[in-house]
Amino acid sequence: MKNHSYEFRELEHKISQAHLHCEKSIQESSIEFYSGNFSINYEALYTNIYDCLKILKSCKSHGLKSLSDLGSGLSPLKMASILFMNGVEVFPIEAIKERALAGEKLCKELGLDNINYFVADLETQPIPPTCAYFFYLPYNKLIRKIIFQVLQRKNTHIYIIESHGDFIENLEFDFGNYLDLIEKIELSGTRHNQYINHYQTKNEEHYQRTISSLLKMDSFSAQDIPLSTLLQVSEITSMQLLIEENTKIWLADACDYSLRTKANMIDFKTPPRSIYVSQVLGAKHFEGNILHYIIARQNLFQNTHGQIRKIYIEPSLQIEYADGNLYTV
């Protein structure tokens, strides 16, 4: 490949200046999107041109003709694909309108015509059907949903640069059974992990059969099914995880949690509790009176005792409120 070092530096400078101008125009402060008062510098928010080209080169070598840049911002990846490495069409997808518009404006200034960025809320909108997807984002509930969509497509590729130090670890825990690690590409920039991890989805039919069969069940045991699959299915179906504690069993939402692999523990948001992985007995779909309390807890309902914390189902149905007391239903 021709030496473009000077052009790379010039492009990096132009993007970084556009980034500074753009961030000042964003009114809403969001820690989730690093905007407003939570804005961070260009080097932390974006992947450099050299590493963008490494991703594009890998796409070309694997015959991947399209790539979604999720949380793209101004998308250096898009600009690099047109200016330095044709053959891979990059789709920039960004939640913040100001960043998408700034990306389009810079493309025009660079002489790149008819470049469209996509402003999308991926919480409610489906991801586009591309050959590959690039993630340089924190791992959270939304990312799980996106990856679950990706897994339902044949021969799909995922490129990941670690952002907070736990994306790859959580991804492999949640979805490792359904992904093959194809290669590790060394980064030129400094990150938590000095490699781009490149995955490919495994046999789609096997995965869909597994999930489809689980969704038809009213309950299932963690003894037969990996915890990672239990967590995925619980999120999709609003089932509850059954947690054993001493002689009692209580319920936890699996739609928002974090995993501490080294400690072998799971931290739940609802209720805000930490447990050992071994305490998960299985998952179950509830109706009637129990479902009423599950919904009330999810919607932060509170009475004179405060909000609902734990819902015990064994040895009897009991509700623990924020005041710390148990009430038999």
- pLDDT (tens digit per residue) in 197-218: 999 987 656 656 655 665 566 6
Nearest to 194 by CA among 65, 34, 54, 7: 54
Other CB atoms within a 10 A radius of the CB of residue 314 amount to: 13
Distance of CA 325 to the CA centre of its chain: 36
**Is the predicted pLDDT of residue 267 greater than 70, yes or no?**
yes
Instruction: Please state, in angstroms and rounded to a whole number, the distance separating the CA atoms of residues 320 and 199.
Output: 43
Q: Residues 248-262: what's their mean pLDDT?
A: 81
How many C-beta atoms lie closer than 10 Å to residue 169's C-beta?
Answer: 16
Is pLDDT of 72 > 90?
yes
**CA angle at 256 for the pair 26 and 45, rounded to the nearest 5°:** 35
Q: Three-state secondary structure along 186-233?
A: ECCCCCCCCEEEEEEECCHHHHHHHHHHHHCCCEEECCCCCHHHHHHH
**Backbone torsions φ then ψ of 118, nearest 5 degrees:** -110, 120
CA-derived radius of gyration, the chain: 22
The closest alpha carbon to 202, from 184, 176, 226, belongs to 176
Q: What is the pLDDT confidence band of residue 139, given thresholds at 50, 70 and 90?
A: confident
Distance CA 269, CA 253 (A): 8
For residues 115 and 90, the answer to whether their CB atoms sit within 8 Å is no
Q: Answer yes or no: are the C-beta atoms of 257 and 280 closer than 8 Å.
A: no
pLDDT over 90 for what percent of the chain? Answer: 39
Number of other residues whose CB lies within 10 A of the CB of residue 187: 18
CA 139 – CA 124 distance, rounded (Å) = 18
Going from the C-alpha of 247 to that of each of 92, 170, 244, 250, 270, the distances in angstroms are 51, 30, 7, 10, 21
Q: Per-residue pLDDT tens for 152-201?
A: 777 899 999 998 778 898 888 878 878 899 999 999 988 878 999 999 98
Q: Report residue 29 as tokens.
A: 């402060």
80-137 tens-digit pLDDT: 999 998 899 999 999 899 999 999 999 999 999 878 899 988 777 778 889 999 999 9
Residue 226 is encoded by which pair of tokens?
């990996």
Mean pLDDT of 255-274: 81
CA-to-CA distance for 55 and 246, rounded, in angstroms? 49
Mean pLDDT of the chain: 84
Rounded-to-integer distance, Cα 85 and Cα 154, Å: 26
H/E stretch holding 19 reads helix 5-25
Report pLDDT for 1: 47
Q: What are phi and psi of 27, to 5 degrees?
A: -80, -40
Q: Are the beta carbons of 167 and 160 closer than 8 angstroms?
A: yes
Q: Which residue has the tokens 């038809």?
A: 216
Q: With left for phi above 0 and alpha for psi between -120 and 50, is residue 71 left, alpha or beta?
A: left
